[in-house]
Amino acid sequence: MSISRDEVAHIGRLARLDLSAAEMESLTHDLGEILGYVEKISALDSDTDEVRGAPGAASAKSVQATAPDIPSPTTPMRDDLIQPSLTTEQALRPSADHDAEFFRVPPVIEREEA
Amino acid sequence: MGNSIIPFTATAIAAGVKHGDFTAEEVAKSTIQRIEAIEPTIDAFLHLLPERAISAARTLDAARARGETLGAMAGVPVGLKDNMCLAGAPCSCASKILDGYLAPYDATVVERLAGAGSIFPGKANLDEFAMGSSTENSGYKTTKNPWDPTCVPGGSSGGSAAAVASRMVPVSLGSDTGGSIRQPAALCGVYGLKPTYGRVSRYGLVAFASSLDQIGPFATTIDDLALIYNTIAGHDPRDSTSHAEAPGAFDPAAGVKGKVIAFPESVLDRPGLSKEVAAATRASAAEFEKLGARIEPIDFPDLDAGIAAYYLVCTAEASSNLARYDGVRYGPRVPSKDLSHLYAATREAGFGPEVKRRIMLGTFALSSGYYDAFYGRAMRARQSLKRRFAGVFAKADLILIPTSPTPAFRFGEKTEDPLEMYLADIFTVFSNLIGGPALSIPGGFTASGLPIGLQLVADDWREDLLFQAARAHEGATEHHRRLPGLSAEVAR
Closest by Cβ to A18, choosing from B245, B344, B461: B344
Q: Does pLDDT of A28 surpass 80?
A: yes
Chain A residue numbers with beta carbons less than 8 Å from the beta carbon of B243 are 56, 73
Q: Is A24 on the interface with B (CB under 8 A)?
A: no
**Predicted pLDDT at B5:** 78
pLDDT score, position A43: 81
Smallest Cα distance from A113 to chain B, Å: 18
User: Band of the pLDDT at B1, cuts 50, 70, 90?
Assistant: very low
pLDDT of residue B356: 98
Chain A: give the shortest CA distance to residue B126, in Å.
22
Q: Do residues B489 and B1 lie in contact, with contact meaning Cβ atoms separated by under 8 Å?
A: yes
Contacts of B462 (CB under 8 A, 6+ apart): A67, A70, B196, B397, B436, B437
DSSP state of B349: H
The residue-averaged pLDDT of B371-395 equals 93
CB B480 within 8 A of CB B474: yes
What lies within 8 Å, CB to CB, of B138 at 6+ separation is B46, B94, B125, B126, B127, B128
A43 touches chain B (CB under 8 A): yes
Across the interface, do B364 and A94 touch by the CB < 8 Å criterion? no
Judged against a pLDDT cut of 80, whether residue A65 lies above it is answered with no
Kind and range of the H or E element at B470? Answer: helix B463-476
Yes or no, beta carbons of B383 and A63 under 8 Å apart? no
Beta pairing class for B438-445 and B191-194: antiparallel
Residue B43 carries which side chain, given as an amino acid letter?
D
DSSP-assigned beta bridge partners for residue B261? B295, B398
The percent of chain A in helix, strand and coil, each rounded to the nearest 5, is: 45, 0, 55
Chain segment B295-349, per-residue pLDDT in tens: 999 998 888 899 999 999 999 999 999 999 999 999 999 999 999 999 999 999 9
**Strands B45-48 vs B171-176: parallel, antiparallel or unpaired:** unpaired
d(CA B133, CA B388): 26
Positions of B marked catalytic: 81, 156, 180
pLDDT for the residue A58: 39
B43-64 pLDDT, tens digit each = 999 999 999 999 999 999 999 9
Contacts of B80 (CB under 8 A, 6+ apart): B86, B110, B120, B122, B123, B124, B160, B172, B173
CA closest to B199 among chain A residues: A56
In degrees, rounded to 5, the angle at the alpha carbon of residue A14 between the alpha carbons of residues A13 and A17 is 50
Query: What pLDDT does B50 receive?
Result: 98
In CATH, the number for domain B10-259+396-491 is 3.90.1300.10
Considering only CB atoms, which chain A residues are within 8 Å of B330? Answer: 94-95
Q: Best of B361, B397, B417, B464 to disrupt the A interface by mutation (most A CBs within 10 Å)?
A: B361
Interatomic CA distance for residues B358 and B336, integer angstroms: 25
**Which of B327, B422, B434 is closest, CB to CB, to A96?**
B327
Phi-psi map region of B74: left, alpha, beta (phi>0 left; psi -120 to 50 alpha)? beta
> Quick check: ipTM above 0.85?
yes
Report pLDDT digits (tens) over B250-298.
Answer: 898 999 999 999 999 999 999 889 999 999 999 999 999 999 999 999 9
Q: Please give the mean pLDDT across all residues of chain B.
A: 95
| Cβ proximity of B202 and B241 under 8 Å | yes
Read off the pLDDT band of A72 (50, 70, 90): very low
- DSSP assignment string, B139-177: SS--PPBTTBTTB---SSSHHHHHHHHTTSSSEEEEEES
